[in-house]
Amino acid sequence: MEDYAASFWIYIGVMSIFVCGAVKKFLTSHIGAMPSVLAWLCATLLVERLCVLCMPAVLARLVLCVSCWLYFTWATHKPSLPVEGKVVFITGCDSGFGNATAKRLDAMGFEVFATVLNLEGEGAKHLRRVCSSRLTLLQVDITQPQQVEQALLDTKAKLGMRDLWGLVNNAGLCVNIGDAELSLMSNYRGCMEVNFFGTLSVTKTFLPLLRQSNGRIITISSPSGEQPFPCLASYGASKAALNLFINTLRHELKPWGVKVSIILPSGFRTGQSSNTEYWDKQYKNLIQNLPPSLLEEYGEEYLLETKELFQSYAKTATEDLSPVIDTIVEALLSPQPQVRYYAGPGLYIMYFICSYLPLCFGDKFLQKLFVKKKLLPSSLRKHKELSLNNNNNNINDMNKSNNSFTKIIN
């Protein structure tokens, strides 16, 4: 009887540890870590079956000890690396994530090299005003290789014998406000130049410093590089190329001890996204440069609705950038940073739907989540109206024929 009671309480202890561990992993993990969560749940089920099959008390105690070790090894928070002496290079600090990250890291004690497009712009002035003397501002257009090389020389000169710990690839561009067919080739090229080739240039240029320090590369990408968001073809294509490059780099840099992470943020209000004049300018540029035949097929009303939907989405996006900034800090200081981080609301459910449910569910979800179009292109509307009129005429002709047939019978 006593052995049974001991086994029962050991069983309760083991199951409590495994269930609590699984719940904690589910609550704190990202969708990308789903396999580890499933593995934990499978281990829980295995232990439960073993205990049900009257596991001997000695073996049950051993399983309890192993369970405790696994729980405290995998499920508990690991201490962060020290900040002291760490130097980080960040691109795109005029506004948005880059500006906020530079301020946060400077306040934490990092030495920060922050690139801006304009040293006399509002973003640069703000950083000078609020940050310490540890922060260095560099004027860099990442699409210009000469400026990137000069930034490397300036950074090495100031570093001296010290190492560069981290590179945060943040600079990016999104100029798209229309369907893939409507997007101008200049939009595709512009996004690729900044988001892919610019980031590629910076990463390759600074890699020797990062290999020397066994440092970190953190790249801000986008879920649109993995999911087919409507009206984001040019931006999404550039981010998809970036994702593949960074993931390949991650494999290749493992022997060098350089850890590589990608951060995928949800919708945030950054840069020009809430600027009405910016969207009006993009819309006018699109109207002026579209071929007349294509503009006629889609119609100005369709394009105008798309622009207004983009503006509305930007206005409702959150201004609190802390989920992304916190993730960047974690990727810089975690002893074992994750390969992928999902930062912001709504991403977990989106990736779950798009990854594990049938394709039609994912497509519907993305359409409802982002650009909720109501208008059809002009040509489709006319075709639909014509079909409706033809159907009505056919119904009227049938009614007339029935009436005539009735009169003849009578």
Active-site positions read 235
Report the alpha-carbon distance of residue 290 to residue 183 in Å, rounded. Answer: 9
List the helix and strand counts (H, then E) for the chain: 16, 7
Largest CA distance in the chain: 108
Q: 87 to each of 97, 115, 159, 209, 292, how far by Cα in Å?
A: 18, 14, 9, 11, 53
| C-alpha span between 103 and 112 (Å, rounded) | 9
Do 169 and 203 touch, CB atoms closer than 8 A? yes
- Whether residue 316 contacts residue 289, with contact meaning beta carbons closer than 8 Å, is answered with no
Q: Edge-to-edge strand order for the sheet containing 111-116?
A: 136-139, 111-116, 87-90, 166-169, 216-220, 259-265, 340-343
Helix (H, G, I), strand (E, B) or coil at 115: strand
Whether the CB-CB separation of 51 and 14 falls below 8 Å is answered with: yes
- Radius of gyration (Cα) for the chain, nearest Å? 29
Residue 337 near residue 261, CB atoms below 8 Å:
yes
Buried b (16+ CB within 10 A) or exposed e, 158-184: ebeeeebbbbbbbbbbbbbbbbeebbb
User: How many CA atoms lie within 13 Å of 183's alpha carbon, on the beta-carbon side?
Assistant: 22
| Interhelix angle 300-316/276-289, nearest 10 degrees | 160
> Considering only CA atoms, which of 142, 375, 120 is closest in space to residue 242?
142
Cα–Cα distances (Å) from 327 to 30, 160, 196, 235, 332, in that order, read 12, 29, 22, 22, 9
